[in-house]
Structure formats: structure tokens, C-alpha cells
Amino acid sequence: MRIGEIIESTSVLFVSESLELRQSPALGSLLRVRISDDGDLYGVVCYGETRSLDPGRRAVRRSTSEVYDDQVYRENPQLEHILRTEFTCLAVGVLEAGGILQGLPAQPPPLHFSVHTCSPEETARFTEDLYYFRLLLSASLPVPAEQLLANHVRRVYGERGGDDNWLRRAAQEVGHLLKQDYDRLMAVLYGIDQGSSPRAGGVSTK
């Protein structure tokens, strides 16, 4: 499903404007951009925001004691035209010639290209190899990398239909990558465990 359009693009990150206001994909979601007839670029959502179209102007309070929350938007339809929702993705790999290559792309995705959600099958295919976890943990991002990775693992676990074997592999990969940093390791594992299945008995790096 098409959910956005790229408005900023670099070799590491790309920023997209949502097609609908306040409809940003969840932190950690895997998305894709069709960059050629037989090629896709994949990214993980690492930040989202809703702000004024004019960078120099902040939003102001519009609620009253009787009108608040969703009612504000119904009473002020012009907000749809003066606000926009954006989300940022970290590029994590590409699909070329039928094969997936995890890592930063050779070129940034083109401006104004569409951003799509991934189907459960596409998500399962891309996440079979976990090398891209290194990118998520090492990138300089607006949110803590540990929280991003934990959110991503939980979302992929759900997209893979509660695949406990994959969840254990993911936890083991995190344990390997952060074996020298106990605090970061526990932050990721704790975050993952909040959404893991009781069948998995929690997550373990063993």
C-alpha cells in the first residue's frame, strides 16, 4: 500500500510526507520504495513528526473546554492544509536481480518516489538474514537505537505470524552484537520482551 512520497533523500536516510495527516507508519516498520522495474529499496521507520508547513511557525492551541482532540480537526478543516506528517527511514537494503542485499544502497532513492508498506511475505523475506541489525544499532538517529531495534523486532515478529524461532534468532543476534555493552543489550532485550509471545518464554540470547 502506498503511504507516502519522498521529499528528502540521502545515502543513509530518506524523509517522506504521509499521504494523510497524522497517519505515520509505526516506529520500526519495514517499508519499501520501488526504484526500478525489478528493484526495491528497503528502509526502517526511525522517526515521525507532524508539524506546520511553514518551518518558521509553530502550531498553536485550538482546543476549548468543549472542543478538543479529534473534534479540533473537525472544527478546523483548514488544518489539513497547513500541517503535514513526515516520517524518516533508515535505508537497510535493496532487492536487485531477484536477490536481497542488506546494507546501505549505492544511491539514495529518488525524490518524489512513492513509499509502500511491506506485505508479511516481503517482510519475512527481507528479515530472514539479520545482518542489517548492525545498521540499526550504529546509525546516528533522532531516537535511541536500542528502542528502534526493539520496536522493529516486535513488529517483524508480528508480521511473521509470531515466529518464535525467528524471535530467538533475533535475540541471539542482538546478544552477539552487544556482548561488550551490557546496558545497551538489556535495553534492547527488555524492549523486545514487552511484545514477545508467552509461547517464546521471553527472549534469551542463548
Q: Tens-digit pLDDT profile for the chain (206 aa)?
A: 999 999 999 999 999 999 999 999 999 999 999 999 989 999 999 999 999 998 788 889 999 999 999 999 999 999 999 999 999 999 999 999 889 999 999 999 999 999 999 999 999 999 999 999 999 999 999 999 999 999 999 999 999 999 999 999 999 999 999 999 999 999 999 999 986 554 445 566 66
Instruction: Look at the chain and report how many structural domains it folds into.
Output: 2
Cell of 60: 498553536
- Give the residue among 116, 192, 151 at the shortest CA–CA distance from 26: 151
Same structural domain for residues 122 and 199?
A: no
First to last CA, the chain: 37
pLDDT given at position 197: 52
- How many Å apart are CA 201 and CA 193, to the nearest integer? 9
- pLDDT value, residue 56: 81
What's the confidence (pLDDT) of residue 73? 95
76 CB-side CA count, 13 A:
18
Domain with 32 in it: 2-128
Residue with cell 500500500: 1
Clarify whether residues 117 and 200 are in a common domain: no
122 with 151, same domain: the answer is no
Would residue 139 count as lying in a domain?
Answer: no
The pLDDT value recorded for residue 205 is 66
**Same structural domain, 16 and 92:** yes
Has residue 136 been placed in a domain? Answer: no
Could you tell me the sign of the dihedral formed by the alpha carbons of 119, 122, 123, 124, in that order? positive
pLDDT of residue 55: 79
Residues 156 and 115 in one domain: no
CA distance 99 to 93: 11
**How would you label 142-170 residue by residue, b for 16+ Cβ within 10 Å and e otherwise?**
eeebbbbbbbbbbbbbebbeebeebbbeb
Domain boundary among 128, 154, 183: 128
Cell reading at 171: 535475540
> Do 116 and 24 share a domain, yes or no?
yes
